[in-house]
Amino acid sequence: NAETAQALDSVEAFLKADPRYKTLYREAVEISAIFQKTQRDEQKGVLSFENAGLRYSQINDRLLNLLDYIETDNLEPDGISAQPAKRYVARWWLLVIPLILIAGIFGGGYFFKKPPKQPNIGPACPRFEPTSEFNVMVLPYLLLSGGQDQPQALIVERLENLREKYKLNTSIQINQQFKPDHLLSYDSASIYGKRCNAKMVIWGRSEQAGSAKIIKTRFKFLGDEDAFAFTQLKWQGEKQVDTVKTLSSLVSQGDMTNDIEEVILLVLGVSAKETGNMETAIAVLESLRTTDSTTLLVRNMMLGDSYIGTGQNEKALRTYDTLLQVHPNYWLALNNRGFLLMENGDNLGAIDDFTTVLDKKQDSDVLIARAKAYQQSDQPLKAKTDYEAVMKIEPSRAPEVKKQLEETSRQVEVENNLIRQAPDVAVAPATKNEILEISEANKKLGNYKDASRLLQKGIEANPKDPKFYASKIELLLQQGNKEEASTLFSEALANGIKKEELFQLKPSIQKHYETRRRVVLKRN
């Protein structure tokens, strides 16, 4: 966000110097104030990571639109406080550096030499079928290279065919009254769609680049946000995993540069899910193959939702695996995969996912989930620390975690007493069981260095004993040293120890390798 701050400073300084830009200067000051407040809210933790990202995106939209007004010398633009779509100007000699910085934020975009004003969106609407449960309004595409192409007609024709195939109560109409003179913004599409009682609006642009045709499609979902919100798994009570709904602003609108067929299948999947037809949603979304990152995010979150809703948790897990290979920090997918892994007994994998979420945002539900995973993987000290953190950041949940905090505190004290009373194996002889017992106690308390030293001593003295290998492999996994764990696993096999012995002694090892194999197979 340093680039945005620098760009805002440059724009403000330029506008303030010329009284002609009085109106535009007020807009720049307002954008700057919103930017600063967003930074403060994010630092205080009162704004979620995802909502902060959305707000920064809106700020950059307004800033880029302001630059449009400056370049076209539009000193009194209509609706200046609105937040139009992302557009990138082709030139602005006074603000070259800020523009380059802003372009870096977005990773590129489409450049207009002279962006026209927003079109006057009139009241004309297409006629949807009266009994339709999901209305889709498709607008004529902007043809940047001229010609008579009609991508919107192809979309509607294919949607109609699939609607009949899957027996969906959906109405799809082209609004022939709409005459695009530039790419419509999301806000304008939202106003227009709601006016026409549409639950989704589709529009875009088409251009010729040499011998290739490039079609860029935008979509805006306008249905019931609660119905479209994605499933978030969380703890309810002591042992129960429940689902709540979380609206993801990242997937309610977006740009897609891809095959029209992908757009069609995505829209149909949204329609089926919105109308409660989960089996159809699954069938349609499973048939959608895409390399577009936005489409993949929407498709896999909806598909994961549908799998969870129909009890197909293993498929949901694989779907989140695929999504997280492209969007590794998407918190909702990490959250849900963490719970599914924990349900499958892969507590260490769940801890990895929950930790990634908590690195981005402090959340008491995720802290409680990670504490449970720590408890179930014999790490009571780390579980205790998480329960204490819950009580600190959300005191109202103290009664909910009090019992678990007391239990983990007792476990920590038991392990501390065991270590205090144990013989010093560095100077006194110790049996194999004593070494294992002391090393396990150190593992539970996070004393990894001491535990590792003891276990290595046990391995060297007993190279055929699977207990020492199993315990140290688990320790390495708890530390996140997966490559070292894999090397030690291979060493154990080379010494004649069977993997089934290691899995039986430490089920966490088996779960780790099952998860790794699942992800590798998914990639291939």
* Token duo for residue 180: 């695009």
Q: Which of 503, 515, 261 is nearest to 489 (CA)?
A: 503
SS3 state of residue 499: helix
Rounded CA-CA distance 441/418 in Å is 7
Q: Which of 410, 418, 457, 409 is nearest to 440 (CA)?
A: 418
Question: Residue 403: what residue type?
Answer: K
Polymer length in residues for the chain:
524
pTM of the model: 0.64
DSSP string, 7-34: HHHHHHHHHHT-GGGHHHHHHHHHHHHH
Is the CB of residue 45 less than 8 Å from the CB of residue 35? no
Residue 45 DSSP one-character state: T
Residue 251 DSSP one-character state: G
How many helices (H) does the chain have, and how many strands (E)? 22, 10
Q: Which of 418, 427, 433, 510 is nearest to 468 (CA)?
A: 433
Is the CB of residue 246 less than 8 Å from the CB of residue 332? yes
Could you tell me how far CA 68 lies from the centroid of its own chain?
31
On the CB side of 513, how many CA atoms lie within 13 Å of its CA? Answer: 15
SS3 state of residue 139: coil
Q: Mind listing the domains of the chain with CATH numbers?
A: 2-112 (no CATH), 134-310 (3.40.50), 333-418 (1.25.40.10), 431-523 (1.25.40.10)
Torsion of CA 434, 435, 438, 440, to 10 degrees: -120
DSSP string, 297-309: HHHHHHHHHHHHH
pLDDT of residue 44: 65
* pLDDT in 10s for each residue of the chain, 524 residues: 566 777 788 888 888 888 888 888 888 888 888 888 887 777 666 666 667 777 877 787 788 778 777 867 778 876 664 444 333 333 333 343 343 334 443 343 333 333 444 444 454 799 999 999 889 999 999 888 777 778 888 888 888 888 888 888 889 999 988 888 888 888 888 888 888 999 889 898 888 777 777 888 888 878 655 445 677 777 655 444 455 444 344 345 555 555 566 767 777 787 787 778 888 889 988 988 887 777 788 889 889 988 988 889 999 999 999 999 988 988 889 999 999 999 989 999 999 999 999 998 888 999 999 999 999 999 999 999 999 999 999 999 999 899 999 999 999 999 999 999 887 766 566 788 989 999 999 999 999 999 999 999 999 999 999 999 999 999 999 999 999 999 999 999 999 999 999 999 999 999 988 877 665 444 44
Handedness of CA 112, 116, 118, 119 (dihedral sign): negative
Is the CB of residue 194 less than 8 Å from the CB of residue 208? no
